[in-house]
Amino acid sequence: MSEENTTVLQCLSLNHLFTKIRDKDTKPEDFRKYSMRLMTILTEESLAVANNSVTKKTVITPTGAKFDGIDVNTSNMVAVSIIRAGDSLLECFLNVVPEAAVGKILIQRNEETAEPILYYDKLPPLENKQIMLLDPMLATGGSAMCAIDVLINKGAEEENILFINVVCCPEGLKNMNSKFPKIKVVTACIDECLNDKSYIMPGLGDYGDRFFNSV
């Protein structure tokens, strides 16, 4: 993925939060607590780089001074979660942007072939909307690219789709960029690689299972 299309969070707090959620001995309730804190930071950063929603704005402070900032228009946002793990990120996103329209896409990975299988989608109108595609993990990129195909077929513009994830890897970013060069990505971390089973390394296990305590 080209550098201009990928935003990687740079926050001192992330090292602490990742240490908690990567630890195999972290209890499900603690995994949920720390991952929610991390995903809230991720959501706020994502809003700031949503091209179709951000404009420059100058305000006057109580001291009478000018401050040059930005304004984020959230009225045109559609948050789309890739079920099931994406629902964890959706929960955080809606805490920050409760006015966003919501869509759902169900894609499951064939564990033998690592290929995505589309089962279901339910989406609001997507034309001229800022689409926030949510899934905590980007491994091969298969599920995300399948979801993006669905979004574009339903009227979304590629350049208006922002893919938000907690952990990704170089292979998945490369695959996505080769097919969808206009997609922007916001991630909390780029891990080292995929192993021979297409799992992210060092990774943190199955995000959905750990978040929803269904291990």
Query: Annotated catalytic sites, by residue?
Result: 109, 113, 206, 209
- Whether omega before 28 lies within 30 degrees of 0, making that bond cis, reads no
Q: State how far the Cα of 98 lies from the Cα of 43, in Å rounded to an integer.
A: 12
* Length of the chain in terms of residues written: 215
CA distances from 96 to 44, 89, 152 (A): 8, 11, 25
DSSP three-state, residue 43? helix
Taking only Cα atoms into account, the Rg of the chain, rounded to an integer number of angstroms, comes to 17
- What residues contact residue 113 under an 8 Å CB cut-off, 6+ apart? none
CA torsion 204-208-214-215 (nearest 10°) is -20
CB of 100 closer than 8 Å to CB of 79: yes
Judge contact between 30 and 209, C-beta under 8 A.
no
